[in-house]
Amino acid sequence: MKLKILLWVLGLLLKRAFKRDPEFRAQLEARSLDWGVATENLSIARHYRMSEAGITSAPGLPVDTDLELRFADSDSAIAFLLKPSPRAFLQGLIDQRVRLVGDSAQLNRLQSLLKRIR
């Protein structure tokens, strides 16, 4: 339940950053980004569609996302999402608690956008 709420709040924070931060919007004008977060068994999943027109968030994972972050369990996801860092992400990949699905080049873009959230 905590992970579902956390992912929902992330959607609100993304929408707020879109409204308040011109640099955030400028990064999306170049190219949209569709990404999602889920547990490995897909029991909890949420996707985000970010473009120059706005940001939408919905439960589930469609097949056309550019990037997916899949976590071994909800506790791993919560720990990473509350304190994200490149080191924590790399350690999660090594420990097989995090799996990247899709275009890994989009991960840098996603990280730069998430830094704009306050």
* Helix H or strand E encompassing 50: strand 45-51
> What is the predicted pLDDT for the residue at 24?
93
Q: How many domains does the chain have?
A: 1
Inside any domain, residue 45: yes
Q: Is the pLDDT of residue 104 over 90?
A: no
pTM: 0.90
Q: What is the mean pLDDT of residues 111-118?
A: 85
| Domain region containing 37 | 2-70+100-114
Tell me the C-alpha distance between 68 and 40, whole Å.
11
Q: Give residue 118's pLDDT band: very low, low, confident or very high (50, 70, 90).
A: confident
> What is the predicted pLDDT for the residue at 108?
86
Inside any domain, residue 91: no
Inside any domain, residue 95: no
Inside any domain, residue 92: no
**Rounded to 5 degrees, what are φ and ψ at 33?**
-140, 125
Q: What percent of the chain has pLDDT over 90?
A: 68
Supply the mean pLDDT for the chain. 92
Q: Is the pLDDT of residue 83 over 80?
A: yes
Q: Could you give the C-alpha distances from 67 to 1, 21, 62, 97, 113, in angstroms and in order? A: 23, 23, 11, 17, 14
Inside any domain, residue 89: no
Inside any domain, residue 82: no
